[in-house]
Amino acid sequence: MTTLNQNKWWLAAKSSPVVSLLMFGCAVGAIVVELSYPPPNYLFYNGLQQGQYLRLITPIFLHFGILHLVFNCLWLSLLGSRIEREEGSVHLLLLVAVSAAGSNMAQFNWSGSMYFGGMSGVIYALLGYLWIKHKMAPQSYPPLPNGLMGFMVGWLLLCMTGILEVALGIGVANAAHLSGLVIGLSIGLAFALMGVAQKQ
């Protein structure tokens, strides 16, 4: 039984290497936060500093608590692995990089603070990307699970009310979530339109 489970784990990692590496990065980021709170400033995005472009990306790996890490990794596995299987590893990696940079810049410019992190902006980008591609070409791209888009948009709107900050005392990077969704929808729409044009 142990060997079978290990084989399943290895096959899943092998079929989605970028997703596996991103999840590993998230786990490392969560450990860094746990062991050195607050994390070093060079891991946060603080505007476009010359020669420090990796800081556009690094905040997505910082996770604050086990639930934050687990939920983001679950969504990343569900959405990211689908894109990686259908579009390829390079395609997913570029989508993650663009949505990470865009959502991190949006959150920083909106809040004025560099102290935020998590994969959620990218998760919303992956969600929007998959949703719009299916809507534009349902015969070519499988649908998301029933109700997933409605649930995630509802969660986004709930977070934007500020109720979680009041009730639970936790900060939510709403600008990163919203901008990530818009970025994913925009990129997905562009690729879907190109796909339709190529078939005509």
Q: Which two tokens stand for residue 113?
A: 């603070």
- Contact between residue 182 and residue 127 where contact means Cβ atoms under 8 Å apart: no
Q: Can you tell me the distance from the alpha carbon of 82 to that of 113, in angstroms, rounded to the nearest whole number?
A: 33
The single residue of 20, 120, 134, 179 carrying the catalytic annotation is 120
Active site residue 120: yes
Residue 75 identity: W
- Coil, helix or strand at residue 64: coil
Quick check: is 68 catalytic?
no
CB-based contact 97:21 (threshold 8 Å) = no
Q: What tokens appear for 93 in the block?
A: 């990696």
Catalytically annotated residue among 63, 68, 134, 177: 177
CA atoms within 13 A on the CB side of 77: 14
Integer-rounded Cα Rg, in Å, for the chain is 17
Output the six-digit token pair for 52.
């420090």
Known catalytic residues?
120, 177
